[in-house]
């Protein structure tokens, strides 16, 4: 499939004429000013998983260190030959930062020239991470959720909870949402701001059960923990529901996970690598990799009433394919700062 984002001769010329011996730095504000659309990102992510299923993506499991018991820093390299893109994200997840007024997730993406290996750009990773994660969840939902899904339960009212609801509303006929967060302020602000943003009726709740029961799509976007905090209990999940877990299934109890008819992941080798570190103690063997579903090699949703989960760990290739597009457009638009290498 030829991407609409292999854009124009002018963009390629801008990249080719980039100052030699220098690299482009893009701050968080720069990245947002590039103004890559959600539809562009969705196309890139869908094409990426098709490439991955064909064995044309090199993205080894994350290498991590754990400065704190509840936190980690991951090195996430990838090479996508179809884009001529190589690079790495260096990302930290520190849940304790919330109490310090700091972001829980932070990082940088380094983009390299795939022919020479030289670094060509460094960009702040927050916006890319938020957008690519939501795009991957919506791609999974496209194959695993009911087409007429009209309600969403959000557990975790941070950046990912916001991006996921917006992306799901663009894909499905969503009419209502229920939002849970342990922070009263966070869930109250979320309900007010996202209702205005999406036009969907949103109810904030102090009960996580409210955000699961009677919802067609559930998104768990809370902290990642090696040992699940298991907020969601058996009996909460409605027939026909789909869940997107971006929290390493941390919010799901073993009994609740066992109620899914089929579980899918974005990358089985990544899952197995994390199991060796103690994550996912209760997750059954996945039925398929998301790339297999996207390309039709494995079945997605089979019946209206089955319960499905996509447990999405987040892949370096997702970051890189979006970052590569951002850098290309930034160079064409004259956005960013050139630094000596």
Nearest to residue 161, comparing CAs of 178, 141, 144, 143?
A: 178
- Cα 224 to Cα 246: distance, rounded to the nearest angstrom: 8
Task: Inform me whether the pLDDT recorded for 14 exceeds 70.
Answer: no
> pTM here?
0.91
The tens digit of pLDDT for each residue in 191-214 reads 999 999 999 999 999 999 999 999
Average per-residue pLDDT for the chain: 92
Domains of the chain in start order, with CATH, are 9-128+317-340 (3.30.1780.10), 146-315 (3.40.50.720)
Antiparallel, parallel or unpaired: β 105-113 and 85-93: antiparallel
Q: Over pLDDT 70: what percentage of the chain?
A: 94
The tens digit of pLDDT for each residue in 280-320 reads 999 999 999 999 999 999 999 999 999 999 999 999 999 99
Residue in this structure with the two tokens 């991006």, named with its chain if needed:
163
Task: Inform me whether the pLDDT recorded for 3 exceeds 80.
Answer: no
Report angle CA 109, 112, 113 to the nearest 5 degrees.
Answer: 155
pLDDT band at 18 (very low <50, low <70, confident <90, very high): low
* pLDDT at residue number 6: 47
* pLDDT at residue number 99: 82
Strand (E) positions, 176-300?
176-180, 201-205, 217-220, 242-245, 262-265, 288-289
Taking a C-beta distance cutoff of 8 angstroms, is the pair 158, 219 a contact? no
The tens digit of pLDDT for each residue in 126-142 reads 999 999 999 999 999 99
pLDDT band at 5 (very low <50, low <70, confident <90, very high): very low
pLDDT band at 19 (very low <50, low <70, confident <90, very high): low
């Amino acid at each position: 499939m030829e991407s609409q984002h292999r854009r124009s001769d002018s963009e390629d010329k801008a990249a080719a004429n980039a100052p030699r011996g220098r690299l482009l730095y893009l701050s968080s504000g720069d990245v947002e000013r590039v103004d890559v659309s959600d539809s562009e990102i969705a196309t890139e992510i869908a094409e990426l998983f098709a490439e991955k299923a064909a064995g044309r993506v090199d993205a080894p499991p994350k290498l991590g260190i754990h400065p704190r018991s509840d936190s980690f820093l991951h090195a996430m390299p990838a090479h996508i030959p179809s884009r001529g893109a190589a690079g790495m994200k260096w990302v930290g997840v520190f849940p304790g930062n919330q109490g310090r007024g700091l972001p829980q997730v932070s990082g940088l993406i380094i983009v390299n020239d795939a022919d020479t290996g030289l670094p060509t750009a460094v960009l702040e990773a927050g916006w890319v991470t938020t957008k690519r994660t939501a795009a991957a969840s919506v791609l999974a939902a496209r194959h695993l959720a009911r087409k007429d899904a009209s309600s969403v339960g959000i557990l975790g009212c941070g950046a990912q909870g916001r991006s996921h609801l917006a992306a799901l509303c663009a894909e499905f006929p969503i009419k209502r949402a229920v939002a849970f967060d342990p922070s009263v302020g966070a869930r109250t602000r979320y309900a007010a701001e996202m209702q205005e943003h999406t036009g969907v009726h949103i109810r904030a709740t102090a009960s996580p059960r409210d955000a699961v029961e009677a919802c067609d799509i559930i998104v768990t976007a809370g902290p990642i923990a090696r040992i699940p905090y298991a907020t969601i209990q058996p009996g909460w999940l409605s027939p026909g529901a789909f869940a997107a877990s971006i929290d390493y299934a941390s919010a799901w109890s073993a009994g609740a996970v066992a109620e899914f008819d089929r579980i899918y992941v974005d990358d089985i080798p990544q899952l197995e690598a994390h199991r060796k570190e103690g994550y996912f103690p209760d997750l059954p063997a996945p039925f398929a990799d998301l790339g297999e579903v996207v390309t039709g090699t494995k079945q997605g949703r089979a019946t209206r009433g089955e319960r499905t989960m996509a447990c999405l760990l987040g892949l370096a290739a997702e970051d890189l394919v979006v970052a590569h597009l951002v850098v290309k457009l930034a160079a064409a638009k004259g956005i960013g700062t050139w630094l000596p290498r």
